[in-house]
Amino acid sequence: MTIWALPIAILITTTILAFPLSRYLAWIMDGKYRAPRALRWFEDRLNSGTQDWKLYVGSMLVFNTLLFIFGFLVLALQPLMPLNGDGKGMLAPSTIFHSVVSFMTNTDLQHYSGDQHLSNFSQIFFGLSNFFLSASIGFCGLVAIIRAFRSDTHLGNFFVDMWRVVVYMFLPIAFILGIVFVQQGSPMTFESSVQVSTLERGAMGTTEKGEPKQQSVVVGPLAAFVPMKQLGTNGGGFFGMNSAHPFENPTALTNFLSCVAMMLFPFGLVLMFGRMLKRLRHSYVIFSVMMVLMIGTVIWAVYYDALQPNPGLTSHPLAQTYEVPSATAPGGKRVVPVPAVAGLPVDQHLGNLEGKEMRFGTSAGATFAALTVDVTDGAVNAEHDSLNPIAALSPMVGMWLNCIFGGKGVGMINMLLYMIIGIFVAGMMVGRTPEYLGKKIGGREAKLALIALLVHPLMILFPTGFFAATDWGLKAESNPGAHGFSQIAYQFSSASANNGSAFDGLGVTNGFANNPAPAPEAVPWDIVTGIVIIVSRFLPIIAPIAMAAYLGAKKSAPFGLGTLRDDTATFGFLLLGTVLIIGALLFLPVAALGPLAEHLGPIPFGG
């Protein structure tokens, strides 16, 4: 039973906290909060007046461009900046491009390792600034959509909205969490590393001079970094191994708080949506649908990973032979024998422990894996590459659906798209004009929703197919067979879902600009995933804002007998069905080629 205690506690705690939080969020974003005079000065400085949707989106793009330039400068000038105790150089240009795009869009897919490649200055001024600002941008996108739905006379002001999100929401919570993190053991220093002589001198080996080697322990301003990484569903690790690293996640308590922190705002935003529209019951229905999907992914991951052994170490008594097409073999077919293997004497009652940390609890790795993709955080506290093959389907499905609470605002926006499509289809089936919030959904709105929705699969499937067929992908794979394909599919799913977790074995690290031995195909990976990230971030924010603006401009139809009610269980099932059917139609083939093939195929695969 202990296995389920942790996920249940996380889900219940977050749900309870989300209610008061959503009330607070709506209160702030509706401008009912009167800031003290000192803080009002900042708002007045930032206020550029009321904006329509085009101006609002325009401001967002201008600000993002500025954020891109700023991030690029910080990383490119790293060798010249202070707080660089270990003298780290400049990253390869393509990696800088990729990292800046990735952090600016709340994706935080990392083709570098923070502990090896970034100075504390870069971690703070590049990482931390983007944590706050990129999360706020998605948040503001959702608020703009809500105001458009309400047919407000204007959408508010982008800059004021951003400021309010950062100052009144993220900062106070991050600060409180930061104190807990440092108390629990996360370092909070501007030093870069501490040199320690190991307890057993020379256990790390000896230097060329014959002296015992010291262990170099990288430290840094972790306690400021990590809470915001989680709260903003950013997920870009200070260390290469992210929240699996003992400084980034020192205890079971910080792991619990990391989970709650990343889910808190996605949960709260769904309820805020209902409060601001004064349709709280509608929000409950959406919340329930998301919760059903989330529970599904958690149970799947925990059952197949924490309750099942790692199949690589167990017995597979059936010897098999496979025939594979081969141009050189006689008869055009080559026979591949897969010998039987016996079980190794390993006690696996704690499930698959490869790539797991011990201190968080037995089911913590699998639980975190499911939650981090559902809310598109992308931090990891275990190695996803080493998850049991079938358990790895859970994080992949989370990224493919991309609407199980989802990132800051963006997940809720994606769910809106599914809703519009679902209502449109249902309306067509029963022969009634489809309506949402009393507004008729016309061809233009449905088209915009479809564009925003189809960007995601296109941006996953095309590059995955292309890379899987060429050296760009094949030379980057680190595991054989179907799992190698999964690595490629996972990387693009993560990029397109603006998630940021990865199957870390994939060779995509270019390293410093003067690295003599970068991963062979790192440059195409940097550039293509960078482009995928940009397209999959901005189209699904801009198109829905436009759609909401067009919809909001229409006259409200009176509530009638034929209106499809959006606050009933029926609507919930309609929504659930839409998500599952669209998701399955788009992604089942990838699932079959990747994790399912690995699970059903021979293990171990090849020599």
Q: Which of residues 54-93 bind other proteins (CB under 8 A)?
A: 58-59, 62-63, 66-67, 70, 86
Spatial separation of the C-alpha atoms in residues 77 and 282, rounded to whole Å: 49
> In angstroms, what is the minimal distance from the CB of 287 to other proteins?
26
- Choosing from 11, 104, 118, 133, the residue that interacts with other proteins (CB under 8 A) is 133
Residue 226 sits in the site that holds other proteins (CB under 8 A): no
In three-state form (DSSP H/G/I as H, E/B as E, the rest C), the secondary structure along 203-259 is CCCECCCCCECCEEEECCEHHHHHHHHHHCCCCCCCCCCHHHCCCCCCCHHHHHHHH
Characterize 489-520 residue by residue with b for buried, 16 or more Cβ atoms within 10 angstroms of its Cβ, and e for exposed. Answer: bbbbbbbbbbbbbbbbbbbbbbbbbebeebbe
Smallest distance from other proteins to CB 105, Å: 16
**CA–CA separation, 596 and 12 (whole Å):** 31
Contact between 264 and other proteins by CB under 8 A: the answer reads no
97-126 positions binding other proteins, by CB under 8 A: 113, 115-116, 124-125
Min separation Cβ 579 and other proteins, Å: 29
- In whole angstroms, how far apart are CA 144 and each of 151, 158, 451, 553? 11, 9, 19, 14
Among 72, 239, 418, 467, binds other proteins (CB under 8 A): 239
Taking the least distance from each CB to other proteins, the nearer of 307 and 455 is 307
Is 184 a binding residue for other proteins by CB under 8 A? The answer is yes
Go through 342-375 and write b for each residue having 16 or more CB atoms within 10 A of its CB, e for each that does not.
eeeeeeeeebbbebbbeebbbbbbbbbbbbbbbb
User: 86 and 220 in contact (C-beta within 8 Å)?
Assistant: no
Toward other proteins, which CB reaches closer, 312 or 577? 312
- Which of 204, 280, 291, 450 is in the footprint of other proteins by CB under 8 A? 204
- Nearer to other proteins by C-beta: 151 or 197? 197
Region from 267-275, 401-409, 432-440, 500-508 binding other proteins, contact rule CB under 8 A = 500-508
Closest approach of Cβ 356 to other proteins, in Å?
A: 6
Give yes or no for residue 299 binding other proteins (CB under 8 A). no
Among 108, 504, 526, 566, binds other proteins (CB under 8 A): 504
Helix (H) or strand (E) holding 15: helix 2-29
Q: Which of 16, 194, 292, 588 binds other proteins (CB under 8 A)?
A: 194
Contact string 28-57 vs other proteins (x = CB under 8 A): --------------x--xx-x---------
CB atoms within 10 A of CB 147: 25
Minimum CB separation of residue 498 from other proteins in Å reads 20
Q: Which residues contact 331 (CB under 8 A, 6 or more apart)?
A: none
User: Which member of 110, 186, 254, 499 binds other proteins (CB under 8 A)?
Assistant: 186
What is the rounded CA–CA span in Å between residue 342 and residue 404?
40
Question: Could you tell me the two tokens for 491?
Answer: 């990387």
Stretch that binds other proteins, among 21-29, 216-224, 262-270, 438-446 (CB under 8 A): 216-224
Segment contacting other proteins by CB under 8 A, of 26-34, 274-282, 418-426, 595-603: 595-603
Nearest to 109 by CA among 95, 126, 129: 95
Please answer whether residues 139 and 269 qualify as being in contact, where contact means their C-beta atoms are separated by less than 8 angstroms.
yes
Interface with other proteins, residue 467, by CB under 8 A: no
Q: For residues 568 and 574, give the distance between their C-alpha atoms in angstroms, rounded to a whole number.
A: 10
**Single residue of 16, 196, 318, 584 touching other proteins by CB under 8 A:** 196
List the beta bridge partners of residue 196. 215
Residues in 159-178 at the binding interface with other proteins, rule: CB under 8 A:
159, 162-163, 166-167, 171, 174-175, 178
Closest distance between other proteins and the C-beta of residue 299, in Å?
17
Q: Which is nearer to other proteins, 240 or 577 (CB)?
A: 240
**DSSP assignment letter at 150:** T
Q: Which is nearer to other proteins, 134 or 536 (CB)?
A: 134
Token readout for 421 is 């499509």
Shortest Cβ 399–other proteins spacing (Å): 18
Q: DSSP labels for 275-296? A: HHHT-HHHHHHHHHHHHHHHHH
191 makes contact with other proteins (CB under 8 A): yes
Distance CA 498, CA 403 (A): 12
Residue 143 binds to other proteins (criterion: CB under 8 A)? no
User: Per CB under 8 A, which of residues 336..375 are in contact with other proteins?
Assistant: 339-350, 352-365
- 104 and 71 Cβ atoms separated by less than 8 Å: yes
Contact between 215 and other proteins by CB under 8 A: the answer reads yes
- Radius of gyration (C-alpha) of the chain in whole angstroms: 25
What would the x/- binding string for other proteins be over residues 301 to 320, using CB under 8 A?
Answer: ---------xxxx-x-x---
Q: Which is nearer to other proteins, 160 or 271 (CB)?
A: 160
Q: Give residues 518-577 in contact with other proteins (rule: CB under 8 A).
A: none
**Which residue's structure tokens are 């289809």?**
425
Tokens for 499, please give them. 């998630």
Residue 455 CA to residue 414 CA, distance in Å, equals 11
Instruction: Looking at residues 244 to 263 of the shown chain, list those that interact with other proteins (rule: CB under 8 A).
Output: 244-247, 250-253, 256
Map the footprint of other proteins across residues 404-463, applying CB under 8 A. none
Which one, 251 or 288, has the nearer CB to other proteins?
251
CA pseudo-torsion sign 308, 310, 316, 319: positive
Task: Please report whether residue 11 would count as binding other proteins according to CB under 8 A.
Answer: no
Count the residues of the shown chain that bind other proteins, applying the rule CB under 8 A: 134
Q: Is 12 in the site for other proteins (CB under 8 A)?
A: no
